[in-house]
Amino acid sequence: MGSLRISLVFLCFYSLAFCLSVSGRPATFLQDFKVTWSESHIRLSDAGMAIQLVLDQDSGCGFASKRQYLFGRVSMKIKLITGDSAGTVTAFYLNSDTDTVRDELDFEFLGNRTGQPYTVQTNIYAHGKGDREQRVNLWFNPAADFHTYSILWNHHHIVFYVDDVPIRVYKNSGRVPFPTNQPMGVYSTLWEADDWATRGGLEKIDWSKAPFYTFYRDFDIEGCPVPGPTNCASNPRNWWEATSYQALNAIEARKYRWVRMNHMIYDYCTDKSRYPVAPAECIVGI
């Protein structure tokens, strides 16, 4: 984000700690995250700047940010499971940690049989309503190296990015549910889901290939921490609220169309068996 982060310096007078959090310093695991389950399956490296998640027959594992945030951008560099990963799911998501009115923004990386493409599923819950799945086959091998996965969330739209390529956009039209009031934490998990993850559950985990490893580094959280200054989430001077981030630019729009034309394999908007009438957010131009 470079110089864009400098625009947040005016917030520093609240406290040095707040300034560092909002201005987008590189997060470290110990400073910014906590283990949510199976600590023995999360291994730190590089002085806490990188971690490894482990899945075996005993357990998966997960972690979450220590704070919640209202609007902003979060990203992580992730290297997924190598080889045969069918039946596994690596998830990176935002969650309001509420029940019936849950807000949630999901990346779910669905494991594959060796040689098949990795599928990333995205989903959006707003005001407790989900079932908005889209699936894209990644156009590279995400287990060969680290790639950056990001979620941008502002008052205008939500954008899921793979590296610099937008793969999903959900607009706040004012006529559809949109997460605006509940802060969300940053979460990630590695777990067994072979009842549905690969080819609808037809492909099961081959435990002879276990343990399975997912690697993370370059954690980045830029947003309004809650609790924090009361005007932060509504401040139009936050970089993520700037005009240039209120819609895709021409280059991003071209990349977005390319993904949808060449790599999208499922879209709830066109699933007539589930939605005989397309949901409102799916209507072009809404």
Tell me the catalytic residues. 104, 108
**Cα angle value 210/214/216 (rounded, 5°):** 160
Q: Is the peptide bond before 211 cis (omega within 30 degrees of 0)?
A: yes
- Cβ atoms of residues 238 and 88 within 8 Å: no
Please give the helix or strand (H or E) that residue 120 lies within, else none: strand 119-125
Please give the helix or strand (H or E) that residue 250 lies within, else none: helix 250-262
**N-to-C CA span, the chain:** 30
**Cα angle value 46/75/145 (rounded, 5°):** 60
- Cβ atoms of residues 188 and 63 within 8 Å: yes
- What single-letter amino acid sits at 57? Q
Paired tokens of 151: 């979620």
Residue entry with tokens 């894209």: 136
What's the CA gap between 142 and 140, in Å, rounded? 6
- Cβ atoms of residues 141 and 134 within 8 Å: no
Burial class (CB in 10 A: 0-12, 13-18, 19+), 262: exposed
Tell me the sheet residues that pair with 68. 185, 226
